[in-house]
Amino acid sequence: MSTPIFADIEASMNDASGFPTAICWSLANGEIKSVLIIPEDEWLEDEENIEPHVNMRELYNHGVPVLDIIREMNEDLDGKTVYMPGHYFENEWLEKLFAAYNIDPSFEPLPLAELLNIDQEDVPGQINQIKLDYALDSPHESESNVLAMLYIAREMGLI
């Protein structure tokens, strides 16, 4: 049995108008990679797409260029199925990330609910409960969520 791969993405707004600000993904060995994303100029054309909690200075000072992120993700995740919480607008944000350079993901993103064989509306509660149970706290929610998904997979005997 191969170890499931997980990813989560954060955005400037919690709707389709947002742009990706952080992304985290796991590897088959359980290691995780987490990065802040330097926004593309065209993403910043509408300042209403940025919630007040988004620290633009942090993104520019500690973020990674989009092209570097998509190259690394495609290299790390090539041919893999990648499970994401599947709520909100993750697919749109992931698509926006890759579309910035007209590159397709080399992996297939699927909702976590498919791996766990549960209803999609139960996924956020499962993730949040694991984060509480194991005191998973990170400055970036995407990292905490990927850690929680790894714990869930372990508890379900998938790892």
Q: Quick one: pLDDT at residue 1? A: 60
The Cα–Cα gap between 81 and 26 comes to 11
Q: What are phi and psi of 143, to 5 degrees?
A: -70, -45
Q: Where are the beta strands (DSSP E) in the chain?
A: 5-11, 20-26, 32-36, 81-84, 108-111
Q: Read off the pLDDT band of 88 (50, 70, 90).
A: low
For residue range 18-49, what is the model confidence (pLDDT) as tens digits?
899 999 999 999 899 999 999 999 998 876 76
CATH superfamily membership of 5-155: Ribonuclease H-like superfamily/Ribonuclease H (3.30.420.10)
| Strand 20-26 to 32-36 pairing | antiparallel
Provide the pLDDT confidence category of residue 80 given band limits of 50, 70 and 90. very high
Regarding predicted confidence, which is higher, 50 or 116? 116
Q: Specify whether the CB–CB gap between 101 and 20 falls below 8 A.
A: no
How is the chain split into domains, by residue range? Answer: 5-155
Please tell me the distance from the alpha carbon of residue 78 to that of residue 14, in angstroms, as a whole number: 28
The pLDDT, as a whole number, for residue 2 is 80
Strands 108-111 and 81-84, sheet pairing? parallel
Mean pLDDT of the chain: 92
Six-digit token string for 102: 């007209």
Give the pLDDT of residue 17. Answer: 85
Res 19: pLDDT: 93
Please write the tens of the pLDDT for every residue from 1-21.
688 999 999 999 888 888 999
Tell me the whole-structure pTM to 2 decimals.
Answer: 0.92
Indicate whether 123 pLDDT > 80: yes
